[in-house]
A = this chain, B = another copy of it.
Amino acid sequence: MTSNARNVAIVGAGPVGSLMAVYCANRGWNVHIYESRPDMRLPENKAKIQNRSINLALSVRGLTALKGTGLALDELIMKSGLPMRGRMLHIGREGNLVSQNYGVHGECINSVDRAKLNEDLITAAEALSNVKITFDHALKRADLDKGTLELQNKITKEIVKAEADLIIGCDGAYSSVRNSLMRHVRMDFGQEYIPHGYCELSIPAKVGADGQPEFAMDPEHLHIWPRHKFMMIALPNPDKSFTVTLFMPFVNFEMIHNEGDLLNFFDEYFTDAVTLMGKDLLVKEYFKNPKGSLVMIRANPYHYKDRCIILGDAAHSMVPFYGQGMNCGFEDVRILDSLFSEFNVKPTKQGDADKSLELALQAYTDRRAKDLKAICELALNNYIEMRHDVTSPVYIMRRSIESWLHLLVPAKVIPLYTMVSFSNRPYSEAYIRHKSQGFWLGVVGATVGLGTAVGMAVAGWRNRRHLKDTSDLLKAAFLTAAQSVQKLVQ
C-alpha cells in the first residue's frame, strides 16, 4: 500500500465492487474492500453462500468496462462465456421453435456464470498490491463526514472500526451504504416490487452418441417460452446444462400446491420443456428452490460531497429482463472512472475537502441519472416484450422492418436492442432515439401497406396468373417503401 495515497473503502465484493477496486487501484489509491459474506472462492463456503440466481448476460457495456482495466479482464471472463446470438422462442404447447437474432450483424450476448465471474474478479482485484479484501464484515453504519465505518465481524460478532477518504457502496439493492447516505443527503428514493416472482429450475445435459454430455437444446440461443402472462427462459452453461427461470405472478405460484398441480401446469404450458427437464428433477427443484421477488430501486443523488458514492444495484436495482443489471453496474464504474480523469482527481488526498473529487462525484449524479432511469424503464418494458410481444405479428413485422432499415441506413435507424446491448451509447439517448424512430417505421409501414394493397388490386385485375402468391409483390412493395425512406432520411 502507498502510504500517502487516497484511502478508499469499497463496501461489497460483488462484480461491481470488485471491478471498482481494480479501477481505483489502477489510479494508485489504497483500496480496502469489505464484504459481509465469506470468501465465496473457498470450497467450504460454497454451500453457505446463497448465490443470486438468474444467469448473467454479458454484453458490450460490461465487456467495455472489463477491458478498460487494462488487465484483459474481458478476455478472462469470456473464456467461460457462451455466446447467444438470438432468442429461441418455444411457441405453443408443442414448443415449435422460432429463432430471432439479437443483432443484424450476428452480434451475441454472452451467458456467464455469476459465481465464476465474481470469483474471477475478486481474484483479479486481490492480485493488485494496493487492494485488500476483508470478508465476513458487514457495514453497520458509516459517518460520512468523519469518514468512519462501523463494521460487524460476522464470525466473532465484534464491532470493528475503519476509516476511509472515500466510501463506495457496491452493496446491492438493500445497501447499507445507501442507508448511511440517506442520513446525510435529502435522497429521493423508491423501491417497487413487481407482482411477479421467479423460480430457478434446470435442464440437465443429455448423454450424446459418444457418451459425452451434450446440450439438450441449441446452446447459441437464449430460450424463451413466452406465455403472455408469464414466461420461462433458459440460458446455457459450460457444463452443457441450462439454467431455467420461470417468471410469473406470485398468485400463480401460490396456486401450485403439490406435485400434481405442478405437472398439470407444466404439461399444459411447457410440454417440450418437461421432457427435457425430467419430471423428477422438475418436481424436486420447483419445491426446493425459493420463489424470489423482483425489486426496482431508484435513488438520487448517488453521492455525498467528496465522501461517498453508490454504484450498481445499490443505486439502481432493475428487473432482469434486459440482461443489463450487471452491464449497467460495470458501466457505472467505467463512467465514474472517466469522470475522475475529466476532473483531474489526484492519486493522493487533497486536503480535508477534495474539490476535484467532489466535482467528479457531483458530475456523476448529474449526468448518470437520466441513463439509469431509462434502463430501469426499458428493463421493465422488456418483460412484456419477452413474455408476450415476441409472438405478435405486428411486433415481428416492426422488428424485421427495423433490422432491415438498419442494414440499409445504419446511421439513421438502429434497433433498440442493438443500441442497448451492442453499443456504449447512453441508455437515455438510445431510448429517445428508439421513440423517434417510430416515425420512420410508421412511414415505411404505411408505404408497405399501401403498396401491397395497390399491388394486390392490380394483380387481381390484370395479372392473376403471373402472381400465384403474393410474396413477390410483398418484396416489391418493401423495396419501393425502403427506397423512398432512404431518399427521405439521407
A397 and B175 alpha carbons, distance in the complex (Å): 51
CB of A338 within 8 Å of the partner chain: no
CB within 8 Å of B: which A138-194 residues:
186-193
**Distance from A186 Cβ to chain B, minimum over Cβ atoms (Å):** 4
**Distance from A311 Cβ to chain B, minimum over Cβ atoms (Å):** 20
- Contact with A190, one of B186, B189, B193 (Cβ below 8 angstroms): B189
- Contact with A192, one of B188, B193, B293, B295 (Cβ below 8 angstroms): B188
A188 and B191 alpha carbons, distance in the complex (Å): 6
Q: Do residues A191 and B189 form an inter-chain contact, with CB atoms below 8 A?
A: yes
Total chain A interface residues with beta-carbon distance under 8 A:
10
**Residues of chain B lying within 8 A (CB to CB) of residue A192:** 188-190
How many monomers of this chain does the complex have?
2
A190 and B295 alpha carbons, distance in the complex (Å): 13
A295 and B189 alpha carbons, distance in the complex (Å): 11
A250 and B295 alpha carbons, distance in the complex (Å): 32
A293 and B293 alpha carbons, distance in the complex (Å): 33
A187 and B193 alpha carbons, distance in the complex (Å): 7
**Residues of chain B lying within 8 A (CB to CB) of residue A189:** 189-192
**Distance from A440 Cβ to chain B, minimum over Cβ atoms (Å):** 37
**Residues of chain B lying within 8 A (CB to CB) of residue A186:** 193, 293, 295
**Residues of chain B lying within 8 A (CB to CB) of residue A188:** 191-193
**Residues of chain B lying within 8 A (CB to CB) of residue A295:** 186
Smallest CB gap from A250: residue in B: B186
CB within 8 Å of B: which A95-121 residues:
none
CB within 8 Å of B: which A281-304 residues:
293, 295
A289 and B350 alpha carbons, distance in the complex (Å): 33
**Residues of chain B lying within 8 A (CB to CB) of residue A293:** 186
Show the binding face of A for B, using Cβ within 8 Å.
186-193, 293, 295
